[in-house]
Amino acid sequence: MTTPLRIGVLGSGNGSNCEAIMEACDRGVIPGAVTVVLSDHADAFILERARHRGIPAAFIGQSQFKTKLEPELEQHLVRLLQEAQVGLVALAGYMRVVKRPLLHAFAGRIINVHPSLLPSFPGLKSWEQALNHGVKVTGVTVHFVNEGVDTGPIILQEAVPILPGDTAESLHQRIHAVEHRLFPEAIRLFAANRLRISGRRVDVTS
């Protein structure tokens, strides 16, 4: 019997992926629980979703930067995660680049969901990038986080076709539906200690 995984979720916006993770924990699909939800936006709906379920949720504080946190603020974030005794940090629509304080404190224990088939279309609004580029297939990637932007070892990927007449919204909606399945699945594998990182590869053990 493994100890239940304590999950800390970071997000900047709506939090539908966080909802999917919390649901998967409630249903027992993930042997664990979300024990804290933190956001870099005071009014992010992700915080409401957590509070609605009685899960501690907090705004981490004002940053002077848009795409990263100053080291002191990231250190504060690390403390909040450590106080909640989390064993995994899940980035669910967290729109800042993770830097050394967090990477160091949770090495090999930070997972991100990204709305494209990496290494294609890293960065922002990847579904729009895919649509504008004219690719026929895009998808979802769940990966470990390293010091790069969307460059960490890939855990799971699933393709999403681009259909005639797709808009950015319709495509993102279908991508979201896949994310809500794939992200909890990757966390379930992590919780079961079935992921082995070797270099760029992640092997899923049986």
**Catalytic positions, written as ranges:** 114
Selected range binding ligand GAR among 11-19, 53-61, 67-75, 194-202, rule: CB under 6 A? 11-19
Q: How far is C-alpha 54 from the chain's CA centre?
A: 21
Residue 39 makes contact with ligand GAR by CB under 6 A: no
CA distance 199 to 181: 26
Options 49, 96, 109, 114; binder of ligand GAR; rule CB under 6 A:
114
Residues in CB range of 146: below 8 A, 6 or more apart: 103, 152, 153
Nearer to ligand GAR, 35 or 39 (CB): 39
Which token pair is 2?
């493994």
Residue 92 makes contact with ligand GAR by CB under 6 A: yes
Amino acid found at 68: K
CA distance 111 to 150: 10
Nearer to ligand GAR, 108 or 122 (CB): 122
Which token pair is 17?
């992926």
Residue 13 makes contact with ligand GAR by CB under 6 A: yes
C-alpha dihedral sign at 75, 107, 178, 121: positive
- Helices 45-52, 16-26: axis angle to 10 degrees equals 20
Please state the closest distance from residue 124 (CB atom) to ligand GAR, in A: 6
- The torsion angles phi and psi of 83, rounded to 5 degrees, stand at -60, -35
Strands 32-39, 5-11: pairing is parallel
Selected range binding ligand GAR among 50-58, 80-88, 113-121, 186-194, rule: CB under 6 A? 113-121
Residues binding ligand GAR: number (CB under 6 A): 14
CA distance 171 to 34: 28
Nearer to ligand GAR, 13 or 31 (CB): 13
Please give the residue whose beta carbon sits closest to ligand GAR in the complex: 93
Residue 184 makes contact with ligand GAR by CB under 6 A: no
Nearer to ligand GAR, 52 or 79 (CB): 52
Nearer to ligand GAR, 115 or 152 (CB): 115
List interacting residues with ligand GAR (CB under 6 A): 11, 13-17, 92-93, 113-115, 126, 176, 179
